[in-house]
Every structure is written in structure tokens, then in C-alpha cells.
Amino acid sequence: MTLKVFGSESSYFSLHDENDLLIGWIRDRTLGFRCFDSITEARAAARIAYDVMIAACERLGASSVASPVGDAPLRIVNDGASKWFTHDGMPIARLLAPRPDAVGDAAKFGIELIVPRGVGPVASIGVAQAIDVALARPQPTLPAREPEQLASA
């Protein structure tokens, strides 16, 4: 999958998939993707996106980079204005619900990450590309079990 990035005069970039559908954005210190069919998909994507972002920002030399979350459970917390996926009280990604009156990309769930200080919008393009590649990777599946293995399990 190829992520296409289009810029504007301000510090705003739109992210499009290979079919030119808008799937995300980079705006100042936020990086988001709105292309998930469920909260479960958005939660899994938030975990992957956050860890990829942390690793990429460390390579870029960003200061005060947090630790990855790995397989740790993520809770949904409402701060009064937004819902966030959190780990140990630390916000990982903002959860964006589908807009009920919308079609296309706005009818999907989304996540929005806050990029660490020191990583500007242009450098965030590389972070977005790394996240896009990680999200497109097929997830590992357990090997199928033979019927006789199921009977003895």
C-alpha cells in the first residue's frame, strides 16, 4: 500500500490511500488516521501507531519520548472533551467516532496521535508513512489445528 501525501500552504498535510481516498492528516503536532470499521480496529491501530511513532521519533532525536505500550491493555477514557485510548493514565491516541451524518472517510472510526515536541509536520510525514506500513502488515494468525488435535485438546 502506498501512502500519498498532499500539502497545503499552512502546516497541513492530507494522507490518501492508493485509491486517492482521504484516510488521514498531519496538522501541527497531530497525526491522524480515519479508516477503521470498529472501535476494536481503532484500538489495535492506536497501539501499533503509537509504538511506531515512538520508535520513529526516537530515531529523529526527539526529546522526552515516552515508552512503547506493546501488548498492554488500552482503556478508553473520556476527559470531558474527547475520548482517548490510554495506558496507565497516559493518553496514547484520541478516539474519533464516525460522524452520523457523514459518508466516506468521516463515517469511519479514527485515531489521532500527538507527535512529540521537536518533530515538525514535515518530519511527521515519515512517521505517518511508517505507521501506514505497520498498519498494512498482515497480523499473525495462529496455525490451524487439525480435527484430531481439537478432539484431544
pTM of the prediction? Answer: 0.81
Compute φ and ψ for 116, nearest 5 degrees. Answer: -60, 150
Q: Is the pLDDT of residue 140 over 50?
A: no
All three cell numbers of 66, joined, read 515516552
90-107 pLDDT tens trace: 999 999 998 777 665 567
> What is the domain extent for residue 88?
4-152
Percent of the chain with pLDDT over 70: 83
Domains in the chain: how many in total? 1
Burial-class residue 55 by CB neighbours within 10 Å (0-12, 13-18, 19+): middle
Distance CA 153, CA 148 (A): 9
Residue 14 in this model has a pLDDT that exceeds 90: yes
Which residue, among 55, 87, 57, 95, has the nearest Cα to 71 in the 3D structure? Answer: 87
